[in-house]
């Protein structure tokens, strides 16, 4: 085994012992799309699917970070080991996470039972789908019982996060303008649990009434009816109820067979995303006639249409 | 040429004549990822890169649809032919567009110089990157001078839309909670023009002051300094200034060589996305030992790690 390989093996052992520094370094490796990822996957081997992955999602301003922090507190009080993976879709541009939000979680920074990591999705096609399951596996290997997966906004990264979570919590808050309206088309079909945060402000009742109406109109996805909870995350109000609801959903997942179905779908997407990323890397290594730059020039010059160019690119792989 | 091919050729001719029904049918073909897409690309051939593609982006509730509608009005008054492509990232779940928003644009529904189409990104990896340039090409072939590309929320679809636009307009509005804060990490690096909408409400000044501060702190991306404009889209106030700013940015793009650079990047992504979509289709056609379902089972059983599974999947293509 190479020196790098030996170091990696040591890091994996340390992560299994729950050493935060080793967990952090391994997740950084995953985030950086290191060439050691295949080796890391081999070393991690079969990690028991013990960690319950809870996705938290909602528009900016609903209080996601505060809710995550309150959830960490409640889960720690119950003796659970908690991982937090904050997915930051803005980062492909800035190269950095939304640290302002993360700072609110520093109250848990010295707790050895909590691992908090940000992870950029880097705007690569399928980047998150390929990398996040590896990061989840690292956190599971480190003994996390629950992993909170937090993301920002709506859109593609949202969809990817839903694919990664066992339980998806959709947060809303009063006074977010067209929030419910705009979210309508998507949230009903992704939410396992609704949370109306900032429930001590005016119009919280309006938001949950709108949600109930939407829920009543939608075709049920299963015999799980997503509950609508009220929280004031800044005061930890309603958070115990949220923890209970997450536990009830986990039990339902296990009993109904849905857990197995969701996890198989996750593994399937992961294999596909890793394979596509490999193909993509090969595209970028192609030189000469089938290279991307040359094909781009020919399409721009009107000599080739993009579908014909894509066919030439694929032919160049062989 | 097959009957389908002849029909497609006729549709393309009709779209070139600016017939709205033909434009609509072709964009539906693109959206549905029809097997005729390669043929459509061949028929469209080299479409002059005349249409200026303007991306409009911002959180739900900032007034994107109203702004789009006001922009259509101003551009039509100036005699420009306008296409609108509304990208709806929620649709992978609902299968439908946010029609409520689209209805506000019906004031332009009978104007033969305006084409408005929604397009779902369908949550497929690279789905938008592969399909949207084709839809833009259809609108350009139909004689559009300007295409407004509107999207919802932040995240991956946002990033993809920025990759498709010549000019990116980022909309903000007062009273959106953590709006500027949350958007901070990303918007500065994507915005060519900032618009503070709902400028007749309190705190509009605060929003533009925060934006100016952020802009001052950021490293300049180029010698284009993104202007910060104020609009009241519901009353069409400030929209003439926005049209001017878009024109100035277009001139800067052409003079600086940035237009050529952005369009080459767009074509490059398109070719790559089409090629990856082809590979992905082949994954799903694989049967027997290298098929995705079997690999998924083996990973879940702990017999195989996901990287080894991806390598087997790729080997199965040959």
Q: What angle do CA A30, A32, A36 make, to 5 degrees?
A: 60
Q: What angle do CA A266, A267, A273 make, to 5 degrees?
A: 90
Which chain A residue has its CA at the smallest distance from B307's CA? A38
Chain A residues near residue B267 by CB distance under 8 angstroms:
296, 299-300, 306
Chain B residues near residue A276 by CB distance under 8 angstroms:
125, 276, 279-280
pLDDT of residue B178: 46
pLDDT of residue A110: 75
Q: Which residue has the higher pLDDT, B84 or B215?
A: B84
| B32, two tokens | 């549905």
pLDDT of residue B148: 94
Note whether A190 contacts B93, CB cutoff 8 Å: yes
Q: How far does A286 lie from chain B, in Å, by closest CA?
A: 12
Strands A114-120 and B167-172: what pairing? Answer: unpaired
pLDDT of residue A76: 93
Most confident of A116-120, A275-279, B234-238: B234-238
Q: Which helix (H) or strand (E) holds B285?
A: helix B258-285
Q: How far does B105 lie from chain A, in Å, by closest CA?
A: 16
Note whether B300 contacts A121, CB cutoff 8 Å: no
Q: Are A268 and B293 in contact (CB under 8 A)?
A: yes
Mutate to test the interface with A, among B261, B310, B312 (most CBs of A within 10 A): B310
CA distance A42 to B304: 8
> What mean pLDDT is predicted for residues A171-188?
63
> What mean pLDDT is predicted for residues B247-274?
93
Most confident of A212-226, B107-121, B297-311: B297-311
Of residues A121, A280, A310, nearest to B278 (C-beta): A310
Q: How far is CA B50 from CA A225, B53, B129, B144, B181, in A?
A: 51, 9, 20, 8, 36
Q: Are B149 and B89 in contact (CB under 8 A)?
A: no
Q: How confident is the model at residue B80 (pLDDT cuts 50, 70, 90)?
A: very high
CA distance B280 to B288: 17
CA distance B316 to A125: 22
| A317, two tokens | 């792989």
pLDDT of residue A99: 43
pLDDT of residue B252: 98
Of residues B94, B155, B273, nearest to A157 (C-beta): B155
**Domains of chain A as residue ranges with CATH:** 46-255 (3.40.50.300), 271-315 (no CATH)
Q: How confident is the model at residue B231 (pLDDT cuts 50, 70, 90)?
A: very high
Strands A52-57 and B146-150: what pairing? Answer: unpaired
- DSSP annotation string for A79-114: T--EEEEEEETTHHHHSS--HHHHHTTGGGTT-TTE
Q: How far does B97 lie from chain A, in Å, by closest CA?
A: 8
Chain B residues near residue A292 by CB distance under 8 angstroms:
268, 271-272
Q: Is the pLDDT of residue A193 over 50?
A: yes
Q: Which residue has the tokens 């992905």?
A: B280
Q: Are B173 and B230 in contact (CB under 8 A)?
A: no
Q: How far does B247 lie from chain A, in Å, by closest CA?
A: 23
Q: pLDDT tens digit string along A116-132?
A: 887 765 545 556 667 78
Rg (CA), chain A: 21
The mean predicted confidence, pLDDT, of chain B is 83
Please report the number of interchain residue pairs, chain A to chain B, with beta-carbon separation below 8 angstroms.
270
> Of all residues in chain A, what percent carry a pLDDT higher than 90?
44
pLDDT of residue B160: 66
Q: Is the pLDDT of residue A55 over 70?
A: yes
Mutate to test the interface with A, among B65, B127, B153 (most CBs of A within 10 A): B153
Note whether A41 contacts B308, CB cutoff 8 Å: yes
Q: How confident is the model at residue B97 (pLDDT cuts 50, 70, 90)?
A: very low
pLDDT of residue B269: 87
CA distance A69 to A189: 26
Q: How confident is the model at residue A239 (pLDDT cuts 50, 70, 90)?
A: very high
Mutate to test the interface with A, among B57, B60, B161, B298 (most CBs of A within 10 A): B60
Q: How far does A293 lie from chain B, in Å, by closest CA?
A: 7
The count of C-alpha atoms lying within 13 angstroms of the C-alpha of A312, restricted to the half-sphere facing its C-beta, is: 19
Of residues B133, B264, B299, nearest to A271 (C-beta): B299
Q: Is the pLDDT of residue B100 over 50?
A: no
- DSSP annotation string for B231-251: -BGGGTBTHHHHHHHHHHHHH
Lowest mean pLDDT among A218-222, A234-238, A291-295: A218-222
Predicted-complex ipTM score:
0.83
Mutate to test the interface with A, among B177, B184, B198, B260 (most CBs of A within 10 A): B177
CA distance B178 to A152: 12
Note whether B267 contacts A185, CB cutoff 8 Å: no
pLDDT of residue B75: 95
- The SS3 of residue A4 is helix
pLDDT of residue B222: 86
Q: Is the pLDDT of residue A160 over 80?
A: no
Exposure letters B217-247 (e unless 16+ CB within 10 A, then b): eeeeeeeeebbbbbbbbeebebbeebbebbe
Closest by CA to B201, choosing from A177, A199, A172, is A177
The count of C-alpha atoms lying within 13 angstroms of the C-alpha of A166, restricted to the half-sphere facing its C-beta, is: 26
CA distance B133 to B126: 12
- The SS3 of residue B310 is helix
pLDDT of residue B289: 84
> What mean pLDDT is predicted for residues A137-145?
93
Q: How far does A156 lie from chain B, in Å, by closest CA?
A: 5
Q: How confident is the model at residue A2 (pLDDT cuts 50, 70, 90)?
A: low
Q: How confident is the model at residue B166 (pLDDT cuts 50, 70, 90)?
A: very high
pLDDT of residue A106: 64
Q: Is the pLDDT of residue A179 over 80?
A: no
Lowest mean pLDDT among A105-119, A175-189, B50-64, B290-304: A175-189
Chain A residues near residue B276 by CB distance under 8 angstroms:
125, 276, 279-280
Q: Are B144 and B51 in contact (CB under 8 A)?
A: yes
Helix/strand/coil (H/E/C) assignment for every residue in A18-49: CCHHHHHHHHHHHHCCCCCHHHHHHHHCCCCC
pLDDT of residue B15: 94
> What mean pLDDT is predicted for residues B145-152?
86
Helices B306-315 and A258-285, axial angle in degrees (round to 10)? 60
| A26, two tokens | 């391994």
DSSP H helical ranges for chain A: 3-16, 20-31, 37-44, 64-77, 91-94, 99-103, 127-141, 156-164, 179-190, 204-217, 239-256, 258-285, 292-300, 306-315
Q: pLDDT tens digit string along B20-59?
A: 899 989 988 888 777 788 899 989 887 777 899 999 988 7
Q: Which residues have CB under 8 Å from B218's CB, separation 6+?
A: B188, B189
- The SS3 of residue A224 is coil
Strands A146-150 and A114-120: what pairing? Answer: unpaired
Q: Is the pLDDT of residue A253 over 90?
A: yes
Chain B residues near residue A273 by CB distance under 8 angstroms:
125
Q: Is the pLDDT of residue A47 over 50?
A: yes
Q: How confident is the model at residue A96 (pLDDT cuts 50, 70, 90)?
A: very low
Lowest mean pLDDT among A32-41, A267-276, B87-96: B87-96
pLDDT of residue B130: 72
């Amino acid at each position: 085994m190479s020196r790098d390989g030996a170091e990696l093996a040591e890091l994996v052992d340390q992560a299994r012992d729950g050493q935060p520094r080793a967990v952090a370094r391994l997740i950084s490796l995953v985030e950086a799309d290191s060439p050691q990822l295949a080796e890391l996957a081999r070393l991690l081997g079969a990690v028991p699917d013990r960690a319950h992955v809870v996705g938290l999602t909602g528009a900016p301003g609903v209080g996601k970070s505060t809710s995550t922090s309150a959830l960490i507190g409640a889960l720690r009080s119950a003796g659970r080991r908690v991982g937090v993976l904050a997915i930051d879709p803005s980062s492909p541009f800035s190269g950095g996470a939304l640290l302002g939000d993360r700072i609110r979680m520093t109250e848990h920074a010295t707790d050895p039972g909590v691992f908090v990591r940000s992870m950029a999705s880097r705007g690569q096609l399928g980047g998150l789908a390929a990398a996040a399951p590896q990061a989840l596996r690292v956190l599971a290997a480190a003994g996390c019982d629950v992993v909170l997966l937090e993301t920002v906004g709506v859109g593609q990264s949202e969809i990817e996060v839903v694919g990664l979570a066992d339980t998806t919590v959709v947060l809303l808050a009063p006074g977010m303008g067209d929030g419910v309206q705009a979210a309508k088309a998507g949230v009903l079909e992704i939410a396992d649990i609704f949370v109306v945060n900032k429930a001590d402000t005016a119009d919280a009742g309006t938001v949950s009434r709108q949600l109930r109406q939407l829920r009543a109109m939608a075709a049920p996805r299963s015999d799980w009816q997503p509950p609508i909870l009220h929280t004031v995350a800044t005061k930890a109000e309603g958070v115990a109820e949220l923890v209970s609801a997450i536990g009830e959903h986990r039990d339902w997942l296990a009993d109904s067979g849905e857990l197995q179905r969701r996890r198989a779908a996750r593994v399937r997407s992961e294999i596909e995303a890793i394979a596509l990323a490999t193909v993509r890397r090969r595209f970028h290594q192609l030189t000469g006639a089938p290279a991307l730059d040359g094909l781009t020039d020919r399409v721009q010059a009107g000599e080739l249409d993009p579908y014909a160019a894509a066919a030439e690119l694929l032919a160049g792989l062989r």
